[in-house]
Amino acid sequence: MRALLRTCGELSITGGLVMLLFCGYLLWGTSSYTEWYQRILKQQLLDGPKHAKLAKIDVGDAVALIRIPRLGRDYEYAILEGVTSEDLRRGPGHYPGTALPGMVGNFVLSGHRTTYAAPFNRIDELRRGDAIIIEAPEARYTYRVSSKKVVYPEAVDVIAPMPGHPESRPTKAMITLTTCHPEYSARQRLIVFGVLSSKQDRRSA
């Protein structure tokens, strides 16, 4: 009986250590992959034409940089085209088919909140009026946060051209950030909305 209890205890300790290591990998180890891929995406943007108009972008390609001053001076991620699980391991993803930066419509981005560098971990801290800066090849676009909300995953109207009004035609350029809510759960989605407030062409930058 003692041998059985000792064996069970040893197995429990081993199992606990394995779980701790796995959790550590999810929280920190996955970030290494994202950081490595981010360097590739940022280099794509550096190597591309500086004043080119965004046109059709292939899935996996870099779209622009996102900067959010509220989240720190060092906050900067390359956005890539696509929102599959593999895409989001590489950084924030742009929903294909939604508006591109600066365009009338809804420029929709999704990002991890806890793993793979967690680019959208702190977007719950954003306040009305905060800047969301998109550095695209042809211009710098500054959006201002207009509102936040928490929805269930089936509330797909938040990524419509006019968020919340899928039947309406958009009349302004908007941005929507989406991530899981609460942290460590995919039960709901945290949504941050913004509206374009200014544009600075690269020629005058």
DSSP reduced 3-state for 32? helix
Active-site option among 67, 140, 181, 189: 189
Question: What are 67's strand-pairing partners?
Answer: 76, 133
Q: Computed from CA positions of residues 68, 74, 79, 83, in that sequence, does the dihedral angle turn out positive or negative? A: negative
* Known catalytic residue at 112: yes
Rounded (5°) CA angle 147-149-150: 165
Active-site option among 67, 90, 180, 181: 180
* Known catalytic residue at 180: yes
Question: What are 199's strand-pairing partners?
Answer: 141
134: nearest Cα among 180, 56, 81, 78:
78
* Known catalytic residue at 51: no
Active-site option among 112, 113, 140, 181: 112
Catalytic residue IDs: 112, 180, 189
